[in-house]
Amino acid sequence: MSLGAKLAELRLRKGQSLQDVATAVGVSKTHVWQLEKGASGNPSMDLLKSFAAHFDVPLTYLADAESQASLQDVEALQFFRDFKSLSEQEQAVLKQTLDLFKNKRAQGDGGT
């Protein structure tokens, strides 16, 4: 997936306008649009870092055009990192919640 496609997907998932992103990373709205459309190539590493920080994704996700990692993979890794930073008690609550969802889904699937 190209850098432009990744930026557009991240922006849309976050529900932001071109101007919102441009303001957050310190560039013009036109520059963000050009990056998304592939009309501007090779952004600086500092700009890529700003995008990564703004969208809370690893820099490697944006910098590696050959990467086959999906945004869902990136989000899952971020969730896992966040999970590991929780206390044991907080992790237990999340595990119980996950079990409830899995059981609810299994019960729903079994009835159809």
What pLDDT is attached to residue 109? 62
Q: Name which of 62, 56, 47 is nearest 13 in CA terms.
A: 56
What pTM was estimated for this model as a whole? 0.64
The rounded distance, in Å, linking the Cα atoms of 4 and 39 is: 9
The rounded distance, in Å, linking the Cα atoms of 3 and 48 is: 10
The tens digit of pLDDT for each residue in 22-75 reads: 999 999 999 999 999 988 877 899 999 999 999 988 888 888 765 666 667 777
The rounded distance, in Å, linking the Cα atoms of 8 and 31 is: 13
The tens digit of pLDDT for each residue in 88-108 reads: 999 999 999 989 988 888 887
The rounded distance, in Å, linking the Cα atoms of 48 and 43 is: 7
